[in-house]
């Protein structure tokens, strides 16, 4: 747990266990005969870890799907996996205390739906790959929410101001305030923060552990093209940061604001970037009152990806790069 606190004397009935993951990108390269199964295999491993660790919930940081309008094959595979691992007779130990009409658009939390038999509730925001589009601004996550498989939160229709009302969950003596901010273009979000038009409502009583889940550029990619951590309010305890694919899941403290940031990274490589070569992980987040611990789990089913940098100047003479078809020679060398 944070601050080096030992967990040996902590009552498990007062401890929330949550699996966190992000950027699953279901359906990525699904028609490729070699890599087409990769995204589904990795997601299944994530859900298996949730089941094996007897977690109270799963939180996903956006980009569950690789495209906004996934194929029927991808939707079918996703719902089958959620049905297999998230449904069952296990009692839900999380009390839902907030106004569901404020937390979810046109839906209720799935484990309180008498028509569903949820064993492990999944909470997810959307990312830039699976954001709402087309007529009615409906996303693939809306479909999963309507079907009762996912609790879709953090969706905004009014982009002139953002007022985030947290999902309030309680287990024993531990209280969690969960804030969701689905993907918004970095330039627009930067403007809203600069104009003080982003508000996070705090619970009236004290003693809440505050988590924010978002999906934005974290690395500085130029003015108004990322979300500076300093823009976020200091009362947060932990930020789960989706979108960035390199795994930095071990919580890092922001020295100015004193909250921690966990960046799960993606579960499948979708680009030839150095960050994709880092081990892929999900994690088990344990929360007890104001304390927390995050235990990374390295995914074993992810296809290995090796990234190396080669200085062609060192091979110029060997490859005779000063003559002939240089591009073809480099391709043959690679």
What burial letters (b/e) apply to 1-29, b meaning 16+ CB within 10 Å?
beeeeeeeebeeeebbbbbbbbbbbbbbb
Please tell me the pTM assigned to this model: 0.91
pLDDT above 70: percentage of residues in the chain:
96
For residue 71, give both structure tokens. 């194929």
Task: List active site positions.
Answer: 129
The pLDDT, as a whole number, for residue 331 is 75
Q: What are the pLDDT digits (tens) for 90-126?
A: 999 999 998 888 888 777 899 999 999 999 999 999 9
pLDDT band at 5; cut points 50, 70, 90: very low
Task: Show me where the domains of the chain are located.
Answer: 2-303, 309-334
Q: Tens digit of pLDDT for each residue in 230-282? A: 999 999 999 999 999 999 999 999 999 999 999 999 999 998 888 888 899 99
Mean pLDDT of 209-231: 89
Which pLDDT value is given to residue 102? 84
Residue 8, pLDDT score? 55
Q: Looking at the predicted structure, is the pLDDT value of residue 3 above 50?
A: no
Averaged over 122-150, what is the pLDDT? 89
Alpha-carbon Rg for the chain in angstroms: 21
Picking from 108-112, 209-213, 316-320, which range would have the lowest pLDDT averaged per residue? 316-320
User: Which stretches of the chain are DSSP H helices?
Assistant: 38-52, 72-86, 100-103, 140-146, 186-194, 316-319, 326-333
What 3-state class would DSSP assign to 288? strand
Instruction: Give residue 101's pLDDT.
Output: 82
Return d(Cα 83, Cα 76) in angstroms, integer: 10
Domain 2-303 has CATH 3.40.50.150: no
Greatest Cα pair distance in the chain:
74
Mean pLDDT of 120-138: 87
Q: What's the CA angle centered on 23, arms 259 and 148, to 5 degrees?
A: 100
Check residue 304 and give its pLDDT.
86
Average pLDDT, the chain: 90
What is residue 131's predicted lDDT score, i.e. its pLDDT? 83
pLDDT band at 301 (very low <50, low <70, confident <90, very high): very high
How much is the pLDDT for 4?
A: 41
The per-residue pLDDT for 2 is 53
């Amino acid at each position: 747990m944070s601050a080096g606190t030992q967990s040996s004397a902590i009552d498990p009935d007062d401890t929330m266990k949550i699996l966190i993951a992000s950027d699953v990108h279901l359906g990525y390269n699904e028609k490729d005969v070699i890599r087409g199964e990769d995204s589904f295999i990795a997601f299944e491993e994530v859900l298996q870890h949730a089941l094996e660790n007897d977690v109270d919930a799963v939180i996903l940081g956006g980009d569950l799907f690789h495209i906004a309008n996934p194929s029927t094959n991808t939707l079918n595979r996703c719902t089958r996996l959620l049905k297999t691992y998230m449904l069952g007779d296990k009692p839900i130990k999380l009390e839902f205390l907030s106004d569901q009409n404020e937390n979810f658009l046109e839906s209720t939390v799935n484990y309180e739906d008498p028509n569903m038999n949820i064993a492990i509730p999944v909470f997810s925001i959307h990312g830039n790959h699976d954001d709402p589009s087309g007529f009615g601004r409906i996303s693939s996550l809306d479909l999963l929410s309507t079907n009762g498989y996912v609790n879709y939160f953090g969706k905004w229709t009014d982009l002139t101001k953002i007022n985030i009302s947290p999902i309030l969950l309680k287990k024993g003596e531990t209280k969690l305030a969960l804030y969701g901010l689905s993907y918004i273009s970095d330039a627009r979000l930067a403007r809203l923060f600069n104009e003080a038009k982003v508000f996070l409502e705090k619970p009236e009583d004290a003693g809440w552990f505050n988590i924010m889940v978002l999906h934005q550029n974290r690395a500085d990619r130029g003015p108004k093209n990322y979300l500076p951590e300093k823009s976020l309010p200091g009362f947060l305890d932990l930020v789960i940061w989706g979108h960035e694919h390199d795994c930095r899941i071990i919580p890092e403290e922001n020295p100015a604001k004193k909250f921690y940031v966990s960046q799960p990274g993606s579960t499948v490589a979708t680009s030839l970037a150095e960050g994709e070569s880092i081990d892929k992980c999900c994690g088990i987040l344990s929360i007890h009152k104001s304390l927390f611990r995050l235990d990374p789990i390295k995914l074993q089913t992810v296809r290995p990806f090796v990234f190396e940098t080669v200085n062609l100047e060192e091979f110029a003479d060997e490859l005779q790069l000063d003559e002939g078809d240089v591009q073809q020679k480099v391709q043959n060398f690679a």
